[in-house]
Amino acid sequence: MVVGNLYEAWVQGVKCIWNEGAVVFDGEERLREILNLVLEVQNATERMAEIEKSAPKALIREIMDLTFKKEPNEELGYSYGERMFDFKGIDQIQWAIDRLNRKPESKSASIGLLMPERDTKAQHIPCMVLVDFKKRDGKLNLTAIFRSHDFGKKTLPNLVALGKLLEQVSKATHSETGRLTCHSISAHIYESDSKLIQSII
Residue 135 host element (H or E): strand 128-136
Residues recognised as catalytic: 127
| Under 8 Å between Cβ of 40 and 1 | yes
Q: Which residues contact 70 (CB under 8 A, 6 or more apart)?
A: 79, 81, 82, 85, 86
Angle between helices 57-68 and 155-172 (to 10 degrees): 50
Rounded CA separation 112/105 (Å): 20
How far is it between the farthest Cα atoms of the chain?
A: 50
Residue 196 host element (H or E): helix 194-200
Nearest CA to 152 out of 29, 3, 2 is that of 29
Nearest CA to 171 out of 123, 196, 135 is that of 135
**Could you tell me how many helices (H) and strands (E) the chain has, helices first?**
8, 8
